[in-house]
Amino acid sequence: MSAQSTKPYLIRSIFEWCIDSGFTPFVSVKAYDYLDLPREYVKNGEIVFNISANAVQDLIITNDEISFMARFSGASRKIQIPIIAVQGIFAKEVNKGMAFSPDNDATNQGNMENLSGISQTDDDPPPKKSSKPILRIIK
């Protein structure tokens, strides 16, 4: 039995913190080709959605996806975003939140292929490996 990803739980908690604090929650999504997204708003391979109650309807954040209804250029659309496509969630007013490393989703790559029905290849260079942090005791 493998442990579930913490990512959807962290997304929900940051979302609730934004709402409780009176902030506007925004979610950054990697715009994979297979996702049905409003392409006119995609910049540099990502799209950012305002997911506040004023901007969307029927918001549901499950362990597998974020779904909602929103209007784009006057037309209502149902948006479904796989959790593994979410790059981060943050409060617009204070620019605080949480970004998710693509490394965290490397084990979920097979899940992404199952969701899309299309095998994905990543044109991005592999992430640089950082050295281990060094802890020092300061007296």
- The structural domains of the chain, ordered by start, are 7-111 (2.30.30.220)
Structure-token pair, residue 50: 């305002």
- CA 27 – CA 55 distance, rounded (Å): 12
CB atoms within 10 A of CB 67: 15
Instruction: Count how many residues are written for the chain.
Output: 139
pLDDT tens, per residue, the chain with 139 residues: 678 899 999 999 999 999 999 999 999 999 999 999 999 999 999 999 999 999 999 999 999 999 999 999 999 999 999 999 999 999 999 999 999 987 545 444 444 333 333 333 344 444 455 566 666 666 6
- CA 117 – CA 113 distance, rounded (Å): 6
Burial of 100 (0-12, 13-18, 19+ CB in 10 A): buried
